[in-house]
Structures are given as C-alpha cells and as structure tokens.
Amino acid sequence: MNIYALTIQNHGENTVWLPSTAPLSGQTDIAFGSVSTSCQIVSSSALNNEIIITKDVAERLRIPFANRIHLFLDEDTIYIGPLIGIFTAGFTKSSIRPIGKRSFFFAKLLSNEKKVGGFAFVFGAHHIHWDKGTVTGYFYTKTGWEQHEIPFPNVIYNRLPNRRTENETMFQEIKQKLKTEYFIPWFNENFFNKWDIYCLLQQHPLARAYLPDTASPPTIEAAQQFLDEYQQIYIKPANGSLGLGIYQLIQRNNSYYCRFRDHQGCNRLQKFPTLSDLWGKLLADKNMELYILQQGIPLIEVNGRKVDFRIHTNKDEHGIWQVSAIAAKIAGKGSVTTHINNGGIVKTVEEVFPKKEEQTKMTERLQHAALTLSRCLEEQLDMMIGEIGFDIGIDQQNNLWLFEANSKPGRSIFKHPKLKQYDELTTVLSLEYAVYLSKQMITAPEALLT
Amino acid sequence: MNHPHVIAVLTEIFHTESGVHFGSIHEFCQELAYYSQKQQVMLYVTSLPMYLENDRQGYCWIDGKWQQISVPRAHVIYNRIHSRKTEHSCLFEQLVKKVKDEHIPMFNHRFLHKWEVHQLLSNYHYLQPYLPKTELLTTKTILDDFLEQFPVAFIKPIHGSQGRNIFRIEKTETDFRLDYSTFTKDMVQQYSSTCSLFFSLKERIKYPVIIQQGLSLKTVQRRPVDFRLLCHRIHGSQWQVTSAIARIAQEGQFVANIARGGDIVPLSSLLRQFYDKKTASLQKSFLKELALEVANALANEADGLYGEFGIDLALDHDGKPWIIEVNTKPSKQADTSTATQAIRPSAKAIIHYCLSLNKQKKE
C-alpha cells in the first residue's frame, strides 16, 4: 500500500491537494476517523506521494500533527489516516507513564506506526466523549507521550490486559456501542475459551485431525474413561493462561499420579491408590464447569525433556494469514507444561532440530498446521482476529496436535535473542492489519458487516 | 578439587610493595571473591598479558591475601580492562579470538564510547524522546546548529569518564560563555562569535568529541542532580536494577560525578525532595523502567556480550527523564562515607550472571 507524507499548510483555506496519481472522481468531502467535512479537493501533478491540507481543514478534522498516512477513496469522500485506536485499561495520571508499567510496551507498539503509516493511539473507556464524538487519545511522538482530542477511530485494536477487565460490563457495553452504533470494527476482541475453541474447530473438517480428544466438564467417570484409553490426561481451566492451574493425571501399575503446581509455585508429583482419592484431595473443591479434560499426548523429547511449539500467526496488510514466529518450548524438569514461568526454556527450531532436512520438514508442517488452523478458526468465529498464538505438540509418531489457541498470545518467546526480531514483526503486522481493516470498512463494508 | 564454576576477572594488575593491586576495582574484587566462596565458585583475577601467556595461573583470595596459584580453565570471563588502549591492542584481538574458539562467554565485550552508545540507542525509535540531541562535533556548522537550537550545549570526549574534560557552552544575549569541568567557575571564558569559539575549542581539543543538547536539570540548592542506575543482566533479555543513587553536583560544578566532588544520596529520598510521595514513586518506577529498556536495547544492538551497565539518567525542570550516558565499565569505587564490609549487591549480581551463563552453556 502506498504511504503519503501529509503536510499541514498555514496559508490558504479549505483546500486539499492530492498527487495526480490518486484516482479522483468528483469527491467533495474529506474524512479523518469518524469526522468528515467538505472542502476543495485539487489534483496536483507537482505532488509526488505527498498530500497537502490547509490548516483550517486540519483543525476541523482534528488532525493532531503532520504524519505519514494512507489514502482511501469512495464515491464522494477521500479518507486520510487511518485513525487506529488501541483500547486498553489501567491508565495512570502520570504524563510520562500514562499506562503504568505497560507504558513502554505501548510505546514500542506505537513507534512502529512510522513504518506502517496512519495515526495510532491508546485510549481507555474514560477517554471517550460520547457527546462530542471524540476521544482524548495518547500518541507517542518523538518527544514522548502526547494527548490529543481526535475523532472516533476507523478501527479498534483490543489490548485489554486480562480476562477479568474484559468481562466487566462497562467494557462489554462500550464495545457493543462502538461496534453496532458507530460501525467501528474491532479486532482481537476476546480472550479465547478453550472449550469454545475446541467445539468450533471440531466442526471444521480440516481442523479435526489436530485436536486431542477433549471433554467438558471433567467428571471422575470421564477421567477414568480417558485414562483407560490414553494412560495420561490433562485437566485445565477453560479460561486459563500461562499454564496456571493445570493438572496432569497418569495411571500406571494400578496407581494414580498427579503432577501440578502448588500454591507456592512448586512443581509437585503425588501418588494416590485410586482415582477418587486423587479427585477428592486435589480437584473436589474446584468448579469443574470451568475446566476441560484433555487426552495427554506423549510428546517428542530433546535431552530427556518434553518439547512443544509456539507458532504465531498474523494477518498482514492484505488480510492474509502469515506465520510470524515459531519457537520451541522445552519443559522444565518435573513441570506440567512447557511454560517459561514453569522452568521451561525457549529455543529456535534450528536448535531443536540440528539436522537441516528435519528442520525444514518440521518447520513446513508446523507452518501448514498453524495457517490451516488460523483459517478454520476465522471461518468459525464471528469476530475479527488479527493475531493468534498456537501451542502445537508433536507426538512420538510424528503427528501434530493443537493444545491451545491464544487470541492474545504472551510475548515471552521473544526474549530469546534469535526470536527478538519477530516481536517487532508481529506488532508491525497488527498495525498493518488495522490499516487493512480500515480500508475494507471504507471500500467494501459489506464484506465486514456479516 | 574439581570446580563446576570458574570465573576469571580480567583487569590491570599493579605490583606494589604490599602485594598485587587491582586499581579501582581492588575492593570490588575482594567482594567478588568473598561472595564466590559462599557460592562455591572459584574466582581468580588475571590480566590480559597474563591470561594469554598462561590461562592456568591467576590470583586467588586465600588466607586474607591475593596469591598467585595454578587455576582451572575459566568458564566465564568478566572483562574489567580499564585502558581503552589495551582494548585496541593486538593482544585484545587475540583474546577475543581465543575466547570465541574456546566458547568462553566474556562480558562486557568491550568499552562502548559515547557516540557508539548514542547511535545504537537511536535505532530504537521509542527511546528517542529520552535521548538528548547528540552529534559528533566535526565542523563549525554543527556547533552553529546546536547553539541556534539550544541555549546550552555540552561538549564531551567520546572516550571520557568521571566527568573529566567536559565543556559547557552557554549562549547569552551578547556572547558565548565557555566553562570547563576540570577547573572552577572563574575560568569561564567569553567569545563574541561561534567562529572564535570554534577556533578556541579546536586548539584545545585534540580528541574526538560529541556535542550534546544542554538540559536544564533539576537542582538541589542550585546544584544539578543526576542519577546512576546500575543494571545487571539476570539471563537472556532479563535485567535488573541493582542500585539506584542520585548524585548532587558540587557547588559551582555543572557535572554531578562523584569524582568531581559531588554528593550521593539514595534515589528515593532525593525524589521526595521534588515530589509528593505518589509522584516520587511513579518517577522512580519510570526511571528504573527506562534504565532497563536502555540496558536491554544496548545489549541487543551491540556486538558481543554485555551483562552490566551504569546508566546515567536525569530529570529536567519539567520532570521529564533523559538518558545522559551509559558506562560499560561502571565505577566500583567504594563509597567511602558509608564504608562497610558488606558485599555490595552489584558483586552478587555479577557472580549470579556468571553462574547463569555457565548454566546456559551446559544446556
């Protein structure tokens, strides 16, 4: 997509000049976010990838500063921007640290705006002025955080910090209002629920082969049935993240073993004579409605430790799924999962499969699986998603299994020095997808409003 | 005895009548040695020529003194060579090749000068708001450009340390005033044009210098204040702030280095002089976060391995934080006013990072 340099000109009035390459067809209005105004629109052969706007028009549109932008056209309006709102919570009163300890995270995200083009800003519920149809957003400029009052954005990228905030009624209402009354598309709307994801993917023929046998809610009878069939099973919270609250149950030589993380964060392995003993001691006080039961997969091992893979997929500027990062996660000793906070370590695929041939083959298979699952999930979900993190395992027969899909994948794999570069790639792709969605909404809204 | 962890500290060794001396890190080496013993780590001190000649000899802290003995092969090297000249020698090149061939991690890889640090950090756009404008001062045009934009500019040697040889230029309505950090106030000289100023600077400066946007720093009794945050790597891209202090410049001085007679106070108590409790704690959190971002960015961007940075930050009159400079061989001079026998957290952090590198190597 073409990026233009936007200049705000102090003299002259009510005019916008566009390069003659822009296919004008009698448009009379210019729009920025949710605001539009009529003005004189002039095509100039003297301009090359530059758009000039007079100060009065910029003020009417509430354009905060000159920037690198995209240009979209429909029958009567030219759209500049887009205005990308990043929705979150947890704001502070400090102007140097407006989003608390996540300020640098957002600063990095927003500083990628330069590469992508457009105006990206961070805002929260209390920054919306419904009466005026504006938002006071935080922009990150070369002098630091700046607040500007701007129109409603073209698109909203959801970065609420956790499930608890997201489930609050206030956020649900704001989201609904912006979506249905203002037709602003949201992406990465919700955290995924493991059981919902399983049910959705189970309905898709291309996804089914990757799914371990899963049931919910877990009962002692179902657990015994699963153990008879698979020897080891997992009981996981359907809304869990970071591998917390996961139990691994193993039946061996007429004994039952349970591996889990205790309240102090220590990995424990306990032995029980019967399943009902185990259940009574460890699980009886839990609300099983919120858990799932899953077939255990005998994972491949590296140096005696279990390995699984995190594959990030992102939609790009054309709205097409791409694999943006792959990492191997090696389980900590005695750990239930491969999560980093559980003693797991991150390696690259190259480090795990030193043989070139195996490396290429495994990378291709993992990529293929992640892209297939991304498309399947998108078809089944009635919301827009721009980024997914998949946890995929390989069993000892070389079959691929999907353990989890995360709509807001954690970023700990990017701490590996060789994976660092992909951190930026995923954030750039998220912003590019936001530009793509804005364009779709302007030029082909029927495709989005299903 | 078979040691699972062997650390070599590489520094300059001086032979005196009362035994060997490790210059400015002599006391620090002792703390490293005490803590190593507690952690069942073997630590020895060696110098560049000594290590290259025989890497199985080193100085160990035994029975209350440094003694030269036979040592096992080092698993990790902590590079504290202080001479820039030594780091540019063929011997140092030999060392880099040797440790690479033998897969011995060595940190800090080498000294990074002020201009390198600025360029490396500039690659990170999100740090731009906190980096004062800086250029290599090579032409009069650059000097003109800075004095047009800013009322005050600093000129610092790229290899300088401890606040030595810094010039401060102030533009007044009638002339340009030049002040020099190594002398006292009455040495201020006045120039009527940037032409005569540049000519005078050129006469006096025979080494590469940067020119930096002058900041109007927060002051205590009109004495400028800056902060030194010592950062250590834990592992991978995880860093910690090991110590955070504020430095108050000596009366009449424009640099806050302790070496120039400044005072040290804890960061928190100084911030409380400027702010209410809540704002002070917010500013402190931000300064720490900024230091960690700088440490991580620099370690990523620079070639070679880095595990320790001394990061100098400051707040301007509006309370905005700035990155003043980063020291790759941060000072280890014990603070004489509070001299204790305790092992400083920075000594512990160094040993822990060495252990983590050694563990990583085994994985």
Mutate to test the interface with A, among B123, B125, B281, B356 (most CBs of A within 10 A): B125
Share of chain A above pLDDT 70, in %: 96
**Inter-chain Cβ pairs, chain A and chain B, closer than 8 A:** 48
A275 with A322, same domain: the answer is: no
Query: Are residues A103 and B286, on separate chains, in Cβ contact within 8 Å?
Result: yes
Assess A97–B contact: CB distance below 8 Å, yes or no: yes
**pLDDT of A291-310, one tens digit each?**
999 999 999 988 888 899 99
- For residue B328, what pLDDT is reported? 95
Higher-pLDDT residue of A166 and B5 is B5
Domain boundary among A81, A100, A116: A81
- Say if B123 is an interface residue toward chain A (CB within 8 Å): no
Residue B337: the pLDDT is: 47
What CA dihedral angle connects A159, A162, A168 and A170, to 10 degrees? Answer: -20
- CATH code (residue A404): 3.30.470.20
**Cα radius of gyration rounded to whole Å, chain A:** 25
Q: Do B129 and A144 touch (CB under 8 A)?
A: yes
B155 membership: H or E segment, kind and range = strand B152-157
Cα angle value A124/A126/A132 (rounded, 5°)? 110
- Closest chain B C-alpha to A416 CA, distance in angstroms: 7
Residue B301 near residue B120 (C-beta atoms within 8 A): yes
Q: Which two tokens stand for residue A101?
A: 């300890």
- Check pLDDT > 90 for residue A325: yes
- In-domain check, residue A49: yes
Residue B86, helix vs strand vs coil? helix
State how far the alpha carbon of A48 is from the alpha carbons of A5, A18, A244, in Å.
9, 9, 54
Cβ-based neighbours of A100, under 8 Å, separated by 6 or more:
A90, A91, A92
What are A438's two structure tokens?
């804005």
In this prediction, residue B183 carries a pLDDT of: 57
The mean pLDDT of B331-344, rounded to a whole number, is 68
For residue A310, the model assigns a pLDDT of: 94
Residues A44-55: what's their mean pLDDT? 95
Nearest-by-Cβ selection for B128 from A96, A142, A415: A142
pLDDT score recorded for residue A343 = 63
Tell me if A228 is assigned to some domain: yes
In a domain, A446, yes or no: no
Task: Measure in Å the smallest separation between the Cα of A403 and chain B Cα atoms.
Answer: 26
Reported as a single tens digit per residue, the pLDDT across B45-65 is 999 999 999 999 999 999 999
B234 at interface of A, judged by CB pairs closer than 8 A: no
What is the average per-residue pLDDT within B349-353? 96
Task: Give the whole-angstrom CA distance, residue B242 versus residue A376.
Answer: 48
Backbone angles phi, psi at B3, to 5 degrees: -95, 125
Residue B302: DSSP 8-state: S
A243 vs B29, more confident: B29
Distance from CA of B278 to the nearest CA of A (A): 10
For the residues B151-156, what does the mean pLDDT come to?
93
Report which of A184, A122, A116 is spatially closest to residue A153, judged by C-alpha positions: A184
Alpha-carbon distance B322 to B313, whole Å?
6
Please report which confidence band the pLDDT of residue A90 belongs to, taking 50, 70 and 90 as the band edges.
very high
- Whether B303 shows a pLDDT value over 50: the answer reads yes
* Arithmetic mean of pLDDT, A195-207: 92
Q: Does B279 lie at the interface with A, CB-CB under 8 angstroms? A: yes
Mean pLDDT score, A234-253: 84
> What mean pLDDT is predicted for residues A120-139?
97
Pairing of strands A155-158, A186-187: parallel
Contact A104 B129 (CB under 8 A): no
Q: Which band of pLDDT confidence, cut at 50, 70 and 90, is reported for residue B275?
A: very high
Q: Both A168 and A246 in a single domain?
A: no
The answer to whether the CB of A7 falls within 8 A of the CB of A53 is yes
Note whether A104 contacts B: Cβ–Cβ < 8 A.
yes
Q: Note whether residue A450 is domain-resident.
A: no
Question: Residue B133 — very low, low, confident or very high, per pLDDT cuts 50/70/90?
Answer: very high
Q: Which CATH number fits domain B114-130+217-328: 3.30.470.20, 3.20.20.140, 3.40.50.2000, 1.20.870.10?
A: 3.30.470.20
Measured between CB atoms, which of B130, B236, B283 is closest to A415? B236
**A235, A303: one domain:** no
- What is the rounded average pLDDT for all residues in chain A? 91
Q: Which of A92, A96, A145 to mutate to test the interface with B (most CBs of B within 10 A)?
A: A96
Q: Which two tokens stand for residue A258?
A: 């349970």
Instruction: Examine the pLDDT at B338 and tell me if it is beyond 80.
Output: no
A289 and A243 in one domain?
yes
Pick from B125, B279, B289: CB nearest A101: B289
* Residues of A whose CB is below 8 A from B300: 417, 420
Q: What is the mean pLDDT of residues A414-440?
A: 89
Q: Chain A closest CA to B236's CA: distance in Å?
A: 7
Query: How far is Cα of residue B205 from the mean position of the Cα atoms in its chain?
Result: 23
Asked if residue A166 belongs to a domain, the reply is yes
Sorted by sequence, the CB contacts under 8 Å of residue A347 that are 6+ apart come out as: A302, A327, A328, A329, A330, A416
> Residues with Cβ < 8 Å from B16, sequence gap 6 or more?
none
Both A94 and A72 in one domain: the answer is: no
By the CB < 8 Å criterion, does B132 face chain A?
no
pLDDT above 60 (res B186): no
Interface residue B49 vs chain A (CB under 8 A)? no
Domains in chain B: boundaries: 6-110, 114-130+217-328, 134-213
Q: Is residue A39's pLDDT more than 70?
A: yes
- Spatial separation of the C-alpha atoms in residues A284 and A270, rounded to whole Å: 16
Range of the domain at A373: 194-210+299-440
A57 to chain B, closest Cα gap in Å? 29
Are A408 and A336 within one domain? yes
Total domains, chain A: 4
pLDDT above 90: residue A253: no
> Residue B64, SS3?
coil
CB of A318 less than 8 A from some CB of B: no
The answer on A88 and A76 residing in a single domain is no
Contact flag B126-A140 (C-beta cutoff 8 Å): yes
Region A43-50: mean pLDDT is 94
User: Do residue A93 and residue A162 come from a single domain?
Assistant: yes
Q: Does the residue A26 lie in any domain?
A: yes
SS3 B32: helix
Of A108, A142, A345, the CB nearest to B129: A142
Q: Which residues 238-267 on chain B approach chain A with CB closer than 8 angstroms? A: 238
pLDDT by residue (tens digit) across A174-198? 999 999 999 999 998 778 888 899 9
Residues in B closer than 8 angstroms to A103, CB to CB, are 286, 289
Which of A83-87, A378-382, B76-80, B98-102 has the weakest average pLDDT? A378-382
A326 and A200 in one domain?
yes
What's the gap between Cα A94 and its chain centre? Answer: 27
Residue A434 in domain: yes
Q: Which residues of A touch B282 (CB under 8 A)?
A: 92, 94, 97
Same domain? For A255 and A361 the reply is: no
Whether B128 has its CB under 8 Å from any CB of chain A: the answer is yes
What pTM, to 2 d.p., does this model score?
A: 0.87
Q: What SS3 string covers chain A?
A: CCCEEEEEECCCCCEEEEECCCCCCCCCEEEECCEEEECEEEEECCCCCEEEEEHHHHHHHCCCCCCEEEEEECCCEEEEECEEEEECCCCCCCCCCCCHHHHHHHHHHHHCHHHHCCEEEEECHHHEECCCCEEEEEEEECCEEEEEEEECCCEEEECCCCHHHHHCHHHHHHHHHHHHCCCCCEECCCCCCHHHHHHHHHCCHHHHCCCCCEECCCCHHHHHHHHHHHCEEEEEECCCCCCCCCEEEEEECCEEEEEEECCCCCEEEEEECCHHHHHHHHHCCCCHHHEEEEECCCECEECCEEEEEEEEEEECCCCCEEEEEEEEEECCCCCCCCCHHHCCEEECHHHHCCCHHHHHHHHHHHHHHHHHHHHHHHHHCCCECCEEEEEEEEECCCCEEEEEEECCCCCHHHHCCCCHHHHHHHHHHHHHHHHHHHHHHHHCHHHHCC
A94–B321 C-beta distance less than 8 A: no
Count the residues in chain A: 450
Same domain? A321 vs A277? no
Domain assignment of residue A449, yes or no: no
The full length of chain B comes to 363
For an interface test with A, the pick among B107, B123, B126, B323 (most A C-beta atoms closer than 10 Å) comes out as B126
Give the gap in angstroms from C-alpha B46 to the nearest C-alpha of chain A. 30
Domain-ending residue, one of A81, A110, A145: A81
pLDDT at B28 over 50: yes
* For range B297-305, the mean pLDDT: 93
Q: Are residues A198 and A329 in the same domain?
A: yes
Long-range contacts of B102-106 (CB under 8 A, 24+ apart): B102/B73, B103/B361, B104/B74, B104/B75, B104/B76, B104/B77, B105/B76, B105/B77, B105/B305, B105/B357, B105/B361, B106/B10, B106/B76, B106/B77, B106/B78, B106/B79, B106/B304, B106/B305
Q: What is the pLDDT of residues B209-237, one digit of tens each?
A: 999 999 999 999 888 899 999 999 998 88
Q: Domain B6-110: give its CATH architecture.
A: 3-Layer(aba) Sandwich (3.40)
